[in-house]
A and B are shown apart, each in its own frame.
Chain A
């Protein structure tokens, strides 16, 4: 025998619909509160030629999407409420079955409107693809980026071989000039991405991909590897500094300067410790440290971050990193050196001279 099924108060039940939508809207409102906080990796505002076009397209599609969602959800909610049957849930036969009306018009109109919107989106997309395809002038700088687990090896190219140099994890570019980037990888697939000025390009083994970007506003931008590459994919960031032409050239010249020969005895000793403990993996131009396993440390102190934008580059973090890299980035390829306190102090002393 069927149990009498309590029919809940329809008035109370109907009021739950706005509640749910309010909850969803509140979540969205919270988001917009959070949106006013700084988002270094956000790309809804573009600071480069390419990313500005892309941001326009993204906004357009986003607004169109929200409109479509609101309209269709409203259709569902309003339709369900307006056409709601009086039959109780437990006795559905009370509502008679009937086929009435021309429902197919809904489909025709809905699909037509959707198709128009889609074709408009496709057109805007095609326009954007063409606009960002190539720079308006020849690139001023060519940079070769090689991704490694889990840092970025950067080589600045030049027609003059004496001006070619290596650095790591931090890229400087001149504002307002296109920059060509050739990307390769030494191990697995990575992806080069600086959201504010450049879209993503994957780094595929045995393949050199090429892209370009142009920063329009001076500033410091953050990048991130965007293709899962192993344990420390989360901590493979990079820093982009866009500066005016003069500062950029000064930076380049500074990078080419070899490390100064230490004169004071304790600096000589410190350099000795550095060469012995670090030189097998790291290189510093102007010294006999020629290791190529880890990032190039020439002019380390001119960089804003260390460990691929994982830590800020100051004394405390740098010492902590050298003392125990596995604690900061477990699984990364810099092993724990078993370095003692006095050795650490020497290494720190020497690194501090690498401006």
Chain B
């Protein structure tokens, strides 16, 4: 009666479709724990922690035993450094000039580099700890040097920026090490690296002219972003910002 009726069987195709859609979900369920964990703020942001410093969940005894000696706090350097051995931090070069031709790489890397949420947190910290009070929102600079379009005079590697924040710098940069945890400083480093853009044509011994600065950031009140260089306008030479309406 039905000539050549193609009785299409949806079942094998159903299985195929099910596999197509369920397969990724199964993979994701396996991947999810690892990936989701990566998005949480790092517990111990130090790149390598040799010392057992850090979180201690034991319940402290009442205040009577708190008196362990007046030097207790200052000597406990392990926890301040967050575990990165002092030697490694010392090996971070602050300049691009080396004797001979062998360049030294910094000994410490940013443990939260590439984490988009780290930059977001860094922006929150930048405003919360009043970095914008001296460096201006988005790091435009003011009382403190610009962080967004000027050379970093103490070095622009992540470890350099980390140490600048941690140790403070002459001329008014406060010491934040020990006051804020390491993870906060690394988040700030991630954010600052995101907003910084090297001076175009920056080379040792080359004079830079303002003509090379074609664009500048849109002022922050017209758009807050963890990547302020995504919103630019033509260089206004310090006149009224072009975005002002």
Which among A32-40, A247-255, A268-276 touches the partner chain? A268-276
Is A341 at the interface (CB under 8 A from chain B)? yes
Which among B17-25, B98-106, B177-185, B198-206 touches the partner chain? B177-185
Is B27 at the interface (CB under 8 A from chain A)? no
Q: Is the interface of A mostly helix, strand, loop or mixed?
A: helix
A342: contacting residue among B40, B59, B76, B129, CB under 8 A: B76
Instruction: Say yes or no: A330 contacts B79, CB within 8 Å.
Output: no
Which of chain A's residues have a CB closer than 8 A to the CB of B180?
280-281
A331 to B184, CA, bound (A): 14
Is A257 at the interface (CB under 8 A from chain B)? no
Which of chain B's residues have a CB closer than 8 A to the CB of A265?
67
Instruction: Say yes or no: A333 contacts B63, CB within 8 Å.
Output: no
Is A161 at the interface (CB under 8 A from chain B)? no
Instruction: Say yes or no: A266 contacts B179, CB within 8 Å.
Output: no
Instruction: Say yes or no: A336 contacts B43, CB within 8 Å.
Output: yes
A342 to B183, CA, bound (A): 21
CB distance from A98 to the nearest CB of B (A): 34
Is B87 at the interface (CB under 8 A from chain A)? no
Q: Which of A269, A270, A280, A291 neighbours the largest number of chain B CB atoms within 10 Å of its CB? A: A280
B interface footprint on A310-352 (CB within 8 Å = 1, 0 otherwise)? 0000011001100110100011010111111111111011001
Instruction: Say yes or no: B179 contacts A277, CB within 8 Å.
Output: yes
A118 to B183, CA, bound (A): 58
Which residue of A has the minimal Cβ distance to B187? A335
Q: Is the interface of B mostly helix, strand, loop or mixed?
A: loop
Instruction: Say yes or no: A319 contacts B60, CB within 8 Å.
Output: yes
The number of chain A residues with a CB under 8 A from chain B is 40
CB distance from A231 to the nearest CB of B (A): 9
Which of chain B's residues have a CB closer than 8 A to the CB of A174?
none
Which of chain A's residues have a CB closer than 8 A to the CB of B62?
315
A270 to B35, CA, bound (A): 39
Which of chain A's residues have a CB closer than 8 A to the CB of B176?
280
A17 to B66, CA, bound (A): 70
Instruction: Say yes or no: A340 contacts B70, CB within 8 Å.
Output: no
A interface footprint on B179-218 (CB within 8 Å = 1, 0 otherwise)? 1111110000000000000000000000000000000000
A132 to B43, CA, bound (A): 48
A344: contacting residue among B40, B43, B60, B182, CB under 8 A: B60
By a beta-carbon cutoff of 8 Å, the part of chain A in contact with chain B is 265-267, 269-270, 272-273, 276-277, 279-281, 291-293, 315-316, 319-320, 323-324, 326, 330-331, 333, 335-346, 348-349, 352
What are 14 of the A-B contact pairs (CB < 8 Å)? A266-B63, A266-B66, A269-B66, A323-B57, A333-B121, A335-B183, A336-B183, A339-B56, A340-B54, A340-B79, A342-B76, A343-B73, A345-B65, A349-B63
Q: Across the A-B interface, give the 3 residue pairs with the lowest CB-CB distance, nearest first.
A: A345-B60, A293-B128, A349-B63
